[in-house]
Structure 1
Amino acid sequence: MNKIIFFLMATCFALLSCTKEKTDYEAEIEVVVPEYDEFKEAVTIHSEGYDIKVEALNGTFYKGYNEIRLTILDSQTRKEANATDVTLLPIVTKADGNKHSCPHRYNLAYRTDGKYFSGYSVFTSESLVDGAWELHIRFTINHKTYTTKQRITVQQQTNKNLNMTTFTARDDEQYVIALVSPQRPKVGENELIAGIYKFNKSAASAKDYPDPSQFSYTEASGYTLQLDPRMPEPSMGNHSSPNNEDLVQRDDGLYRGVVNYTMTGNWTLNFIMLNQNGKILKGTNVPTDFTPGIEGVKSELYLDILF
């Protein structure tokens, strides 16, 4: 009997050890989830008598979704310049010299309530890890067009609730999915917001650099993200939760649904992405089996979160 008990204990230890090598869930849970609600200056560009101030949450550009606010001031008077046709184009230069962009709003919208130009950029990589990022900005004042650029730093996103993923779907198109909200979920039902973006393949030859048509993304329209949240830890058996709602697109272009977290910890958001005709472009069903002691199976399209 003692030999049997020892064997079972050794087997359990081996299973737990293998699982822990895959994912250190205990270490992840100890991470403090940051939350930012204040826009601060991330970079200021001085160009031809004007100061272009770019703000982001916490004054930092992170890998993933970034809301961006831009103001243009006269350098001498320090007053807001009467700028129009403001555009923003983020470009990363890879180590091999190739240049790419990321999902972004090219034509910024002016917000009269805050007196700033509003946009976003979904940075797909961090600076120095996979290339150097630059912001290319253009604007018009008194019928004269100004162009400027500035190298920026894109940092690692430490908040897993704002994770993102890039992939090629079954239609052979390139997509990006980025979580936008909530930054810090609560136990219970949460509104889940994400952006879905599609890279626009350009057949035309490049014009003078930077040609925005070569770096263009669009907000994927009319898609559906079917949602199946699970707790993948071996001790949780990959269980799900009730009252979740799939993500569908709203008027602001973002996709909104409901995710119900029944407890704090590590969760996986398993997705199946459908196009306007209901055809599956990416994602697989997750088994409904309760699997204690085994790390949970995930969809081929998923994002891990933690709170």
Structure 2
Amino acid sequence: MKMYQLFIMGLLLTVVSCTLDKTNYEDEINTAVPEHYEFKEAATITKSDYTISIEALNGTFYQGYNEIRVKILNAQTKESISASNITFLPVMTGGDGNKTSCPHRYSLNSQSTDSYFSGYSVFTNTSSAGRIWKLYMSFTVNQKIYTVDKEVIVKEQLNKNLNMTSFAGNDGEQYFIALVSPQKPQVAENKLVAGIYKYNQPTATGGSFPDPSQFSYSEVSGYTLLLDPRMPEPSMGNHSSPNNKDLIQGNDGLYHGVVNYTMTGNWTLNFIMLNQNGKIIKGTKVSTDFTPGVEGAKSELFIDTLF
């Protein structure tokens, strides 16, 4: 009987601790999660007889992961043109004049059945008076190379399920992790997709601007993201959930796993990133202790989400 009473008291403590101060986060949790599944034109450039149409979800470039579609059209008829060797290079100029880029696919892939070229850009900053983004592109038609550029606006990503992070790994390399999906998680086991990228340090002095060798990034191959999702708010006691799956790389180059959200609210995706040899590149283990009333500790490597 005594053990049963202790169990009931523990259960009540858990219920109370999970509701304590929860109203502090109601307004944030009830914020509508924006979802975008339709590609629209985000930028257009005209060069000679050609129009370059650059599409993104919602017709907007956001900080974080952006899937990109590029169409080369006849400027007069708007019909698709047989083009090749499409390159895509985003460059940001800071207030000090320093130029940097972000993870991107430089040589776009042809999607012949849909008459567009596909790629991505992981914009690391929003546009501002001191941060100007410009796209530098080239394409070939009838063996002639055309080059174009266009200033674009990168907006804040309001969907926290698509957050990103950048960090220096224990190997001295600069890495980026960007969440790709789900856009709107459910209280269930959700397929979790992320991109992992690395900045390639130039090995030689660059040529004339914009030299892509000075702004090179690659998709990280063969790594593993160990996943430990938790609700870090004091009212939640830093509890986790069962049936999560670590992220491993798929044939699309992205990393796929499962995150089990057992309720809506603030969640932290705690990661430990391992290289191909199982060596820790970044991240620390999170305590499994239940800590009602105390904000939960986070891994050295994490991304916050909210739904």
Pair in the same fold by TM > 0.5: yes
Q: How far has the Cα of 1:233 moved from its partner?
A: 1.1
AA partner of residue 302 (structure 2): Y
Q: Partner of 1:187 in structure 2?
A: 187
The runs of 4+ residues in structure 1 deviating greater than 6 Å are none
**TM-superposed deviation, 1:130:** 5.3
Shift in CA distance, 130/163, structure 1 to aligned 2, threshold 3 Å: farther
Cα drift, residue 301 of structure 1: 0.4
Paired residues, number: 287
Q: Indicate the SS of the match to 1:138.
A: strand
* Aligned match of 1:172: 172
Matches within 5 A, 1:26-45: 26-45=26-45
Following superposition, the deviation at residue 113 of structure 1 comes to 2.6
- The answer to whether the 8 A contact 1:102-1:123 is kept is yes
2-structure distance, mates of 1:142, 1:161: 43
The Cα shift of 1:265 comes to 0.8
The answer for the alignment partner of 1:97 in structure 2 is 97
1:301 is aligned to: 301
List alignment gaps of at least 5 residues for structure 1.
1-19
What secondary structure is seen at the aligned counterpart in 2 of 1:113? Answer: helix
User: Which residue in the other structure is 1:247 paired with?
Assistant: 247
Matched, 1:69 2:69: yes
Does the Cα contact within 8 Å between 1:222 and 1:249 map onto a contact in 2? Answer: yes
Corresponding residue of 1:6: none
- Over residues 35-60 of structure 1, what are the superposed CA-to-partner deviations in whole Å (9 max), with x where a residue is unaligned? 11100110111112211000000000
Alpha-carbon distance in structure 2 between the residues aligned to 1:293 and 1:28: 19
Q: CA deviation at 1:146?
A: 0.2
Q: Which amino acid aligns with 1:242?
A: P
Q: 1: distance between equivalents of 2:93 and 2:253? A: 28
Q: SS of the counterpart of 1:229?
A: strand
Equivalent position amino acid for 1:186 in 2: Q
CA distance in 1, matches of 2:112, 2:274: 37
Residue equivalent to 1:271: 271
Contact residue 225 and residue 271 of structure 1 kept, 8 A:
yes
> Is 1:214 matched up with 2:192?
no
Equivalent residue number for residue 108 of structure 2:
108
Residue 287 of structure 1: aligned partner = 287
Instruction: Establish whether residue 157 from structure 1 lines up as the match of residue 154 from structure 2.
Output: no
Shift of 1:78: 2.1
- The one-letter amino acid of 2:171's match is D
Q: Give the aligned partner of residue 57 of structure 2.
A: 57
Q: Following the alignment from structure 2 to structure 1, what is the Cα–Cα distance between the partners of residues 147 and 114?
A: 24
Say whether 1:144 aligns with 2:144: yes
Normalised by the length of structure 2, the TM-score is 0.91
Shift of 1:30: 2.7
The one-character-per-residue Cα deviations of 1:100-150 (angstroms, maximum 9, x if unpaired) are 010000111111232100000000000006510001110000111000000
The 1-side partners of 2:26 and 2:171 are apart by 38
Tell me if structure 2 keeps the 8 A contact 1:63–1:124: yes
- Asked if 1:223 corresponds to 2:200, the answer is no
TM-score by length of 1: 0.91
Distance 1:186 1:130, change over 3 A: farther
> Which is worse superposed, 70-79 or 192-201?
70-79
Asked if the contact 1:25/1:233 (under 8 Å) is kept, the reply is no
CA contact 1:229–1:259 (8 Å) conserved in 2: yes
Cα distance between partner residues in 2 of 1:162 and 1:130: 24
Query: Could you tell me how far apart the structure 2 residues matched to 1:236 and 1:76 are?
Result: 60
Q: Which position in structure 2 is the counterpart of 1:232?
A: 232
Q: Using the alignment, how far apart are the partners of 1:159 and 1:32 within structure 2?
A: 9
**Native 8 Å contact 1:231 1:238 kept in 2:** yes
Paired-residue identity, %: 64
**1:203 Cα offset (Å):** 2.1
Q: For 2:114, what is the secondary structure of its paired residue? A: coil
What SS does structure 2 have at the residue aligned with 1:82? coil
Residues 174-223 of structure 1, C-alpha deviations (whole Å, 9 max, x = no match): 00000000000011101100000000001200111100010000000000
Alignment partner, residue 257 of structure 2: 257
Q: Which runs of 5 or more structure 2 residues have no equivalent in the other structure? A: 1-20
Partner of 1:135 in structure 2? 135
For 1:305 and 1:188, how far apart are their aligned partners in 2? 15
Letter in 2 for 1:237: G
CA RMSD of aligned residues (A): 1.5
Amino acid at match of 2:230: R
